[in-house]
Chains A and B, each alone.
Chain A
Amino acid sequence: APAMAEKYGLGRPALPEEIAAWDHDVSPDGTGLPPGSGSVEDGEVLFSDNCAVCHGEFAEGVDNWPELAGGFDTLDDDDPVKTVGSYWPYLSTAWDYVHRSMPFGNAQSLSDDDVYAIVAYILYSNDLVDEDFVLSNENFLEVEMPNADGFIIDDRETTEYVNWRAEPCMTGCKDSVEITMRATVLDVTPDVEGDE
């Protein structure tokens, strides 16, 4: 460790109960997962009661609310559909996020087993498991996420910076200029004249 300054003797030791109450993060290797399990069957009922109003009965999304299922093989399309099944690299993230921050407006209301069941149902909605599947802390890492290998670490240094750190052109930089697109054609800007 780097040589650090003095300590100031501020703060007090955190108690185990306090850490347990706040430290819920789950890592891709399963660290942080509590013991428990839940079935697709139970998840379907829980999802219908707690999630479907926004995300749809089949996790397909309602109105502008996020789609959680589908979209496979669309990531290189003009309009990619990014869902838990088509995009998310790790199942741990789904468990962690549902547990900590869903349902929207009533977060942290689901038991550990509820979360296993709901995540099992989301997997089922994405055709990644069968209808009799039961997800638990034991078999959690066996689930294969289709886009697990779909991410690369920021490579701007080699793909962009090396090319764009050069003295730029100042005069005669191109022969002509034409307007190719106008925002007023779309006309989707709020009326900035009208006071709200």
Chain B
Amino acid sequence: MSNQNKGASRRQFLTGAAALGAGAVAGAAKANTPDPLITEVQDWAAGLGDGVDATPYGLPIDYESDVVRRNVEWLTADTISSINFTPIHALDGTITPQGCAFERHHSGAIDLPKDDYRLMINGLVDTPLVFTYADLERFPRENHVYFCECAANTGMEWAGAQLNGAQFTHGMIHNMEYTGVPLRTLLNEAGLSGDMSGKWVFVEGADASSNGRSIPMEKALDDVLVAFKANGEALRKEHGYPVRLVVPGWEGNMWVKWLRRIEVMDGPVESREETSKYTDTLEDGTSRKWTWVMDAKSVITSPSPQSPIAHGHGPLVITGLAWSGHGAITRVDVSKDGGITWETARLAKPGEKMALTRFYLDTDWSGEEMLLQSRAIDETGYVQPTKAQLREVRGLNSIYHNNCIQTWHVKPNGEAENVEVS
């Protein structure tokens, strides 16, 4: 089936579902005529499928061709220093498939073979060192699942409801299981002497943008990981192959890809990516800097504008994602009436620190309009704020760190729209 046909059939399906709308009854309607998909022998039940040699490394089946990264052309001057979006509206669970996990580059996704890879540690260390890729694989490893959220995720929504879909409003995020070496192990190898309190590390990538960022030593020695595997396999080229930094709970910009150098320093470099960018301007014109942590946040991924209710009335699964850079998610509340009343959703698994958490609210829908919202609470007791609460402190121009409660307006025909409510 060609992609063209796929698009057309999906459109027809959605139109049909919308037309069905309020009149549809719950799924258990009685069949009047036998279903030929059951009564007639289908090709796949008679003939043969593909051989095991057909697909050495597989892609999703054609019918899932809409579950892809999307670009929004008008957001940036070109596609090289730009962003695309994870199709979170179509995913479930918590692990993001790497092939559709969002990308953010400042000078493109570079091609850096393992053989050409070098990592330097220099500055205030006993012995500045150079590692090859093979060296890194000989250090003791750890595995951790963490979310990587771009500081600008939901940034286009500060001024109002702009983009119509969870992929676009909340899709600058992915969540992977990383394998790597703690940064502290590598720093120890180079040797840290004397008092390290108040010291910093400057980290930069091998690409032209370098993406240099300063990280306080306390965080560097805590949980920062120098990672070379994600979701079981090597990092994808666009995610930093062969080595990236993983900075749990902190803004995605600091997760330096194609990591090539770590310098121990007396102070922060105040690089471009922590002065001109990734600083948050408040209403009075002053700006916050070093806003590293991503606060607790959530979004309902279905129903949502790209994932309308197509099955008529009756049982409905409301589901979404919650996460916090401060630790584990302990609770997610869902409202169907724009925040007047709330009920506590079910977490698929107990929340893990600085990782995506899946929630479900299993409900019954009779075609009534809904104003769907979700509200995350983390282990520090922090409750995800409304956009009004955020604006009251920050104004409209801080660009980054928009963790407001999102509202979807679900209409009687099952379609959903990104809205703001009073």
Contact = CB atoms under 8 A, between A and B. Distances in A.
Contacts, number: 270
Given A23-B122, A165-B383, A193-B11, A186 B272 contact: no
27 contacts: A4-B184, A4-B192, A8-B138, A10-B138, A11-B129, A11-B130, A11-B190, A12-B129, A13-B128, A22-B261, A23-B122, A25-B271, A28-B270, A80-B397, A88-B276, A150-B286, A151-B288, A156-B293, A169-B342, A177-B337, A177-B338, A180-B419, A182-B419, A183-B163, A190-B71, A190-B168, A193-B11
Nearest to A187: B164
A1 B270 contact: no
Interface string A81-92: 010100111101
Interface stretch (B26-34, B39-47, B194-202, B232-240): B194-202
B417 A22 contact: no
B271 A1 contact: no
A171 B195 CA distance: 52
Contact of B6 (A92, A170, A195): A195
Contacts of B163: 183, 188-189
Contact of B283 (A4, A19, A76): A76
A188 B209 CA distance: 29
Contact of B195 (A1, A11, A169): A1
Interface residues of A, number: 84
Interface of A: 1-2, 4-5, 7-8, 10-14, 18-19, 22-23, 25-29, 54, 63-66, 75-76, 78-80, 82, 84, 87-90, 92-93, 96-97, 100-101, 104-105, 107-108, 150-156, 159-161, 164-166, 168-174, 176-184, 186, 188-190, 192-196
B289 A164 contact: no
B149 interface: no
A97 B272 contact: yes
Contact of A177 (B7, B74, B77, B339): B339
A80 B341 contact: no
Contacts of A79: 397
B252 to A, nearest CB: 16
A161 B417 CA distance: 30
Interface residues of B, number: 114
A88 B128 CA distance: 32
Contact of A27 (B10, B65, B270): B270
B197 to A, nearest CB: 10
Contacts of B417: 182-184
Interface string B138-173: 110000000000000000000011111101100000
Interface in B61-94: 65-66, 68, 70-74, 76-77, 80-81
Contacts of A75: 281, 285-287
Contact of B120 (A19, A26, A89): A19
